[in-house]
Amino acid sequence: MNTPTLYSFRRCPYAMRARMALRYSSVAVDIVEVSLKAKPPQMLALSSKGTVPVLSLDGRVIEESLEIMQWALEQNDPQDWLLKDDSAAQQRGAALIEANDQTFKLHLNRYKYAERYPEQPMEYYRAEGEVFLHELDELLQQRAYLVADHVSLADIALAPFIRQFAHVDRDWFTQTPYRHLQVWLQGILESALFSAVMAKQPT
């Protein structure tokens, strides 16, 4: 089997979570850092949607970040991110990921790029996203991670998006009452895994 190729963009939260899962699972992968202004024709030939991440395997293309994460963990999951023996925690994690990807991401986009959505002020979009932050902070009051006593798929799938939301206005985020969420996020961002996948790659 040839080494899989991941088309990625360093700051894209979808690509971040895919890279974290691949590295954690020790899957050997060639990472191609994509310029969003000049997307490589090899990637566009594999995936017409033209967005990262895209994972090219032998005769197979995986175009969605969550599917890439699942594939990587099926190869190797030494710390049980998939929570194989806890179906209730799996369901809670899946619900959080769906809420993140389907609802929170919309609020995040409007908050980060509020000038593109002049129908409401930035603070309105931030407040919409805060609903999810509050929910996560309440979960983290019960345990150190979102759905289990250790890192799981949900933590890694959500963290890049919470990071992006927090970084829109870092001063605001640090002054919020979401202390448990802040500790959780900082722990992931300071991890060796996150540091490794954020190393700059040549474009």
DSSP 49-61: T--S-EEEETTEE
Average pLDDT over residues 161-167: 98
Please tell me the distance from the alpha carbon of residue 32 to that of residue 156, in angstroms, as a whole number: 21
Question: For residue 201, what pLDDT is reported?
Answer: 83
pLDDT of residue 120: 98
Per-domain residue ranges for the chain?
5-78, 87-189
Q: What is the pLDDT of residues 1-35, one digit of tens each?
A: 689 999 999 999 999 999 999 999 999 999 999 99
Q: Which fold has domain 87-189?
A: Glutathione S-transferase Yfyf (Class Pi); Chain A, domain 2 (1.20.1050)
pLDDT at 1: 65
- Pick the more confident residue, 149 or 58: 149
Among 126, 134, 121, 115, CA closest to 180: 134
Confidence of residue 202 (pLDDT cuts 50, 70, 90): confident
Burial bucket for residue 169 (CB in 10 Å: 0-12, 13-18, 19+):
middle
* Minimum mean pLDDT range among 36-40, 72-76, 130-134, 152-156: 36-40
Q: Does domain 5-78 have CATH number 3.40.30.10?
A: yes
What are residue 52's phi and psi, to 5 degrees? -90, 160
